[in-house]
Structure 1
Amino acid sequence: MKLISVILPVYNAQDTIVAAIESVLKQTYSNLELIIIDDGSTDKTASLIEGIEDDRIIFKKRDNKGLGNTLNELLSMCSGDLVARMDADDICHPNRLEKQFKFMESNSDVVLLGGQIRFLVNNSYINIDFFPAEHEKILAGLMNENFPICHPTIMFRKKEALCLGGYTVGLAGEDLDFFLRIASLGKLANLDTVVLDYRILMNSLSSTKKNELNIGYSYAIYNENMRRNNLSEISYSDFISFVWDKRTLIERLDDFLKNWSRFFYRKSLFSRANGDIFFSLCYLFFAITIQPKRSLKRMLRRILK
């Protein structure tokens, strides 16, 4: 069996890190290395990791450098040709790596592969929208910020990732930028089966740093459009000065409403997980009312699944 490198950045995840690591070590595909970097945690994360005895674990603790730098450092430490992402608060299904490896071996034109997920909210499981399998549909979704690929589910080819220079550093939402850039080197795809339980936290990056994410996503899409038109990419600072700060009032309002729609969607999930169907439906109604086109598309995909 070929070696698969699993990369896991972690920061202050003492409540979930052990379960995340164990879900990787218990994979049906056993020829793996699990490379973990603790990005300056201030809780018990590091000691918990050090307490797990398995020769396949490569662990490094250092000062905080941010997610982009950490992902690139992890990538540089990989020995395998295939790299799988993992987050410190999620749970891999036992046959995730085996299924993804077989697909990547059989589809040499695919450079990055995701899979279906379940939401894990307060120890309750909620089925999520069905992510498309086809490259064209995935790419179209990315350009509309619909995210038809979930970052911690991905497996990608190390050679292509290194050709890109890895992840863009200092950019919130670096996953979208990475997906769009690596798509220039091959196809994107999703498995049609659930490979990961994705934990939803109200205090996660996606919930608390909405504006930074909006800027990062818009920047990634803007530069992708520049590349498609054979134009030079612009720097992040120039994007802020000449594009983001020049948005019309309607565009600013749309970004504002997008944030609130995502917030109410998450609140709906939490209420549903807690068994409060009434408030779950209320929050879902607010999400749809604020961003009807985006929310209705999500619901339609679920109905058609």
Structure 2
Amino acid sequence: MTFFSIIISVYNKEKCIKNTIESVLNQTYKDFEIIVINDGSTDGSEIIISAIEDSRIKLITTKNQGASNARNTGIKEASSNYIALLDGDDSWHVEYLQHMYDAICKFPNLKIFTTGVSQNYKTKTVPVPYSFSQSELYGIHNYFKASKKNTLITSSSVVFNASIIEKTGLFDTSIISGQDTDLWIRFGMHFEVLFINKQLVYYNFNESSLSNTTYELSKKPKFDNYLTEERTNTDLKLFLDRNRYSLALLSKLQDDQKHFSFYTSHLDSKNLSFRKSFLLNSPKWFLKLLIKIKSLQGEKIYYPKS
């Protein structure tokens, strides 16, 4: 049995999938299998993947069912105790798996491991800032406390023990965009997270990717599965309210009063800063102006530009 099972979900990534897979094959730590789930790509992704000759690669092609189904399929096919997720347009530093292996050996009782992420844009690379300070190589964190600014876990920077799925479940296939956040919530409700203080993952910004183009609120998480738990878990409540705030802003931008009312009805205004409260009550034109200004910086935005 190999030590890591690496799950790569792919949908129309012909321009970057070779680089993604090669970033795995070039790892200094070699004991792994790669399970690539081609989620019904209509471009040349499958041809490119098939042309890469390495016995550790297993390609599974399915009809297009979305990232949740693709990742779940890969996890179910995994033969290793440790699952590493990687999106089809991201990449790893050559020592990513070695650092993960070292952390697992040093902290055998922990189940979830992650590391720093850098965002690659056309003209610059920007390390993702976090809401905590960590000077040591290793730090053990509460997911919700550590994700006040940016999420501690991403779908290209997480390794977890397969046994936790019995408690957390898999990705929710009913959520089209934001399904990863929903799973991280369940991870955080049950387990602490080991953070490796190194930039070892590269998120390659792509304006056409699903997370940057999906604005339909019906496809977003509702977070109503956690109404009971958040009553007694203050950290969870704060985390959920920050996400509800973001989706309430999106609702306002889309003139969607139904979703705006839904998210704000579950949101405790005491958990919002003055700035967030101000924005939540600002007119649509003002929000669109702020988004336009941010888009000129060439960095990821979370709401439509127009």
TM range (shorter): 0.7 to 0.9
Query: Which residue identity lines up with residue 184 of structure 1 in the other structure?
Result: M
Query: In 1, are the aligned partners of 2:143 and 2:188 still within 8 Å (CA)?
Result: no
Q: Deviations over 1:188-246 (max 9, x none)?
A: 122101111111122222222245499417447656515749xxxxxxxxx97994485
Q: Deviations over 1:137-162 (max 9, x none)?
A: 532244x5731333211111111124
Q: Deviations over 1:135-187 (max 9, x none)?
A: 54532244x57313332111111111243221111212122221121223321
Segments of 4+ moved more than 4 angstroms:
130-137, 217-224, 239-242, 245-267
Length, aligned pairs only = 262
Q: CA RMSD in A?
A: 3.6
Q: Aligned equivalents of 2:201 and 2:31: distance in 1?
A: 19
Q: Aligned equivalents of 2:54 and 2:90: distance in 1?
A: 20
1:274 corresponds to: none
1:161 aligns to 2:165 (yes or no): yes
1:207 aligns to 2:236 (yes or no): no
Sequence identity percentage: 21
Query: In 1, are the aligned partners of 2:9 and 2:39 still within 8 Å (CA)?
Result: yes
Query: Which residue identity lines up with residue 207 of structure 1 in the other structure?
Result: N
Query: In 1, are the aligned partners of 2:5 and 2:78 still within 8 Å (CA)?
Result: yes
Q: Which runs of 5+ in 1 are unaligned?
A: 230-238, 272-282, 284-305
1:31 aligns to 2:35 (yes or no): no
1:151 pairs with 150, 155, 159, which one?
155
More helix by share: 1
Shift in CA distance, 91/184, structure 1 to aligned 2, threshold 3 Å: same
1:268 corresponds to: 297
Shift in CA distance, 162/123, structure 1 to aligned 2, threshold 3 Å: farther
2:106 corresponds to: 106
Query: In 2, are the aligned partners of 1:115 and 1:150 still within 8 Å (CA)?
Result: no
Shift in CA distance, 222/213, structure 1 to aligned 2, threshold 3 Å: farther
Shift in CA distance, 123/179, structure 1 to aligned 2, threshold 3 Å: same
Q: Deviations over 1:8-62 (max 9, x none)?
A: 0000000000000000011111010000011010000000000000000010111
1:83 corresponds to: 83
Query: Which residue identity lines up with residue 156 of structure 2 in the other structure?
Result: P
- Name the SS for the 2:144 alignment partner: helix
1:289 corresponds to: none
